[in-house]
Amino acid sequence: MSNLKATIIATINPYQILATSHSLKRMRERRIDRYQVISAITSIGLDTIAKYRANKTDVMVMDRTNGFSVVFCVAGNQVRIITVIDSGDCYVKPDTAVEILN
């Protein structure tokens, strides 16, 4: 997990959702509401989030309905948003897990 400074933007028990300054900047630039981002992350379910915590892998959620994607990682009880992309269908690095919301 990155050591970049992050801000808590939500708490969904048992997780704190944090956004790096980079991800907050991208949300502003791309006019993507932070609550839509939180909703996309939580839509995959707490059990799925826990699975990625155990795997220690980055996760991309593609929200095709709202036309954006969010990349995050999970460590302990923290979900850390890495970046937000203004496309619901984009390139995914080979070592990043993907969840698609239609």
pLDDT tens string 49-74: 999 998 889 999 999 999 999 999 99
Domain residue spans in the chain? Answer: 6-101
pTM over 0.85: yes
For residues 30 and 36, give the distance between their C-alpha atoms in angstroms, rounded to a whole number: 13
pLDDT for 15 equals: 93
Q: Tokens in use for 6?
A: 């992050």
In the predicted structure, residue 78 carries a pLDDT above the cut 60: yes
Confidence at residue 3, expressed as pLDDT on a 0 to 100 scale: 52
